[in-house]
Amino acid sequence: MMTALALAAPRRPPTIGRAIAIGVATGLALLARATVGVALLPALAILLAHPARLPGRRAALSISTVALALPLGLLAAVAKIAPLRPDTAPLARFPFEALWSRTAGIPAQLGLDLAFVADANTVLGPLTRGAAALGALWPFAVVGALPLAAALVRWWRGDAGDGERMFVCAALATAVGGAWLYGDPNQFQLALALEPLWALALAEQVVALRAGRPRVAHAVLASLLLLRGQALARGVADSARPGNPMLSGQVQHAAAARLRALGVTGPELVTTTYNQAGVLEAWTGGALRPVHAWPILSSGQHGGTGATLDAWRMLLHDHRPRYVLLSDGINLYDGPFTNNPAIAAALAQAAGEQGIHLVLDRRFPTERGTPGWTLLRVY
Structure confidence at residue 299 (pLDDT): 61
CA 12/CA 227 separation, integer angstroms = 37
Q: Parallel, antiparallel, or unpaired for β 269-271 and 291-292?
A: parallel
How long is the chain?
Answer: 379
Alpha-carbon distance 40 to 46, whole Å? 10
Report pLDDT for 49. 95
Q: Based on C-alpha coordinates, what's the Rg of the chain?
A: 25
Q: What is the pLDDT of residue 303?
A: 53
Residue-level pLDDT at 298: 79
Q: How far apart are the first and last CA of the chain?
A: 53
Chain centroid to CA 51: 35
Average pLDDT, 10 consecutive residues per value, the chain (379 residues): 97 96 97 94 96 95 96 91 83 85 94 95 94 90 95 95 96 95 87 94 94 92 92 93 96 96 93 93 94 82 71 92 95 80 93 95 96 96
Q: Could you tell me the strand order of the sheet in which 358-364 lies? A: 291-292, 269-271, 323-327, 373-378, 358-364
CA distance 127 to 134: 8
How far is Cα 94 from Cα 85, in angstroms, rounded to an integer? Answer: 16
The whole-angstrom separation of Cα 70 and Cα 4 is 14
Residue 76 is inside which H or E element, if any?
Answer: helix 57-81
Secondary structure (DSSP) of 207-264: HHHHHH-HHHHHHHHHHHHHHHHHHHHHHHHHHHS--SGGG-HHHHHHHHHHHHHHT-
pLDDT computed for residue 305 by the predictor: 61
Asked if 67 contacts 14 with a C-beta cutoff of 8 angstroms, the reply is: no
